[in-house]
Amino acid sequence: MGGRFRFGHAMSDVHPRVAAALSAQLARWRAALDGGERRIGWKLGLNFPEVEAVIGREPIIGYLTTGTLLATGESYSPRDGAQLRAETEVALVIGEDVAADANADTARAAIVGAAVALEIVDVSRPPADLEGIVVENAFHRAFVLSPARRIDPSRREGRLLVNGNLRASATAGADHGDVVRAVAQLLAAAGGEQLQRGDHILCGALTHVAIQPGDEIKAEIQTLGAVTLKIA
């Protein structure tokens, strides 16, 4: 889940509970990579009441690997009891490593392209506390990426269609440099990881729509393209 956030902390200001939970999350990420999955990048997470109760409108992050990456047009099979939501998101492409202490201009300059992302999240509880939500990868279940384009994604309209019907739309923010800085700082606070060249960053939900088995989902962003997914 995502949306606008209040960003301004330094790396040393990351809440200790968030840092500890991210360390545990990244241990799972490393195990997935050791098991053969490949690194894709990161997702920004917001609008979790259990998290906001501790840190306010600051973001958390989750990881993205090939283990949950689907091709456009493929099907996703949810588990029993899932409460699925579909999210249209801007996916930034990072062109150089970004240090935790990068300033706004450096972070902004690291963005070399953008893509459309369709993310599937499962908002059923548990987990229902900060640690559980972070460790369980911020409700992430699956995602689809369009081919990246060298286009500034600022102020582009994102839309989510279900079974051909427009269900939600919103406009992307004007500056994504703060997203890059947030991810770089959170990675460093969680144990010395770094935002790397080639990483993708899902910037947070422009749409957040309830979906169910049998639905056909389409996420599109103006001038960036579109991707689709079926819910089995």
Report how far residue 51's alpha carbon sits from residue 48's, in angstroms, rounded to the nearest whole number. Answer: 5
| AA identity, residue 136 | E
Q: Are 19 and 63 in contact (CB under 8 A)?
A: no
- Which residue in 161, 153, 176, 174 sits closest to 222, CA to CA? 153
Domain boundaries, the chain: 11-231
Closest CA to 203 of 179, 231, 175: 179
Mean pLDDT by 10 residues, the chain (232 residues): 46 85 98 98 96 96 98 97 98 97 96 98 97 98 98 96 98 95 95 94 98 98 97 97
**Span 11-231: which CATH code?**
3.90.850.10
The residues pairing with 160 across neighbouring beta strands, listed in sequence order, are 168, 219
CB 229 within 8 A of CB 118: yes
In this prediction the pTM is 0.94
Q: How many CA atoms lie within 13 A of 3 on its CB side?
A: 9
